[in-house]
Structure 1
Amino acid sequence: MSRTLCDLCGLHTRLCVCDACLPVANQTAITILQHPSEVGRAKGTVRVLAQCLQSCRICIGESPVELARGGVDTDSLGSGVGLLFPGPDSRPLESAPPSDIKHWIVLDGTWRKAAKLVHLNPALKTLPSYHLVAPPPSRYIIRKAPGPGYLATAEAVAHLLATMEPGLDTTPIDHAMKVLVQRLLAQVPASLRHRYGSREEG
Structure 2
Amino acid sequence: MVGAQPYDIEALKIEPKPVLDACGERLACDLCGKKTKFFCYFCCRPVPQLAGKIPQIRLPFKMDVIKHARELDGKSTAVHAKIIAPEDIEIITYSDTCLDDVDPSRTALLFPGPDAQDISELDASTFDRVIVIDGTWSQAKGMVHNSIKLRRMQKVTVKPRRTRFWRYQNLDDSFMATIEAIYFLYRDSFKNGEYDGEYDALMYFYKYFYDFIQMRTRAH
How many percent identity over aligned positions? 22
Give SS of 1:83's match.
Answer: strand
Name the Cα RMSD after superposition: 3.2
* Gap change, CA 1:101 and 1:8, over 3 Å in 2: farther
Give SS of 1:57's match.
Answer: strand
Work out whether 1:31 is the aligned partner of 2:64. yes
- 1:160 is aligned, of 174, 185, 207, to 185
- Which residue number corresponds to residue 152 of structure 2? 126
* Gap change, CA 1:154 and 1:38, over 3 Å in 2: same
- 1:175 is aligned, of 204, 208, 215, to 204
* Gap change, CA 1:178 and 1:3, over 3 Å in 2: closer
Q: TM-score if structure 1 supplies the norm length?
A: 0.73
Give SS of 1:86's match.
Answer: coil
* Gap change, CA 1:26 and 1:4, over 3 Å in 2: same
The correspondence of residues 77-156 of structure 1 with structure 2, limited to 5 A, is 77-94=103-120, 96-99=121-124, 100-132=126-158, 134-144=159-169, 146-156=171-181
**Given residue 62 of structure 2, which amino acid in structure 1 is its aligned partner?**
A
- Distance in 2 between residues matched to 1:173 and 1:58, nearest whole Å: 15
- Which residue number corresponds to residue 37 of structure 2? 14
2:105–2:152: 8 Å Cα contact kept in structure 1? no
Q: How big is the shift at 1:78?
A: 4.3
Give SS of 1:30's match.
Answer: strand
1:11–1:40: 8 Å Cα contact kept in structure 2? no
1:97–1:163: 8 Å Cα contact kept in structure 2? no
- Which residue number corresponds to residue 55 of structure 1? 88
- Distance in 1 between residues matched to 2:211 and 2:135, nearest whole Å: 22
2:80–2:203: 8 Å Cα contact kept in structure 1? no
Q: How big is the shift at 1:138?
A: 2.0
- Distance in 1 between residues matched to 2:209 and 2:39, nearest whole Å: 8
Q: How big is the shift at 1:175?
A: 2.3
Give SS of 1:58's match.
Answer: strand
1:45–1:152: 8 Å Cα contact kept in structure 2? yes
* Gap change, CA 1:178 and 1:81, over 3 Å in 2: same
Q: How big is the shift at 1:120?
A: 1.5
The correspondence of residues 183-198 of structure 1 with structure 2, limited to 5 A, is 185=213, 193=217
- Report how many aligned residue pairs link the two structures: 179
1:32–1:107: 8 Å Cα contact kept in structure 2? yes
1:135–1:159: 8 Å Cα contact kept in structure 2? no
Structure 2, gaps ≥5 residues long: 1-24, 41-45
2:104–2:149: 8 Å Cα contact kept in structure 1? no
Q: How big is the shift at 1:180?
A: 3.2
Q: TM-score if structure 2 supplies the norm length?
A: 0.68
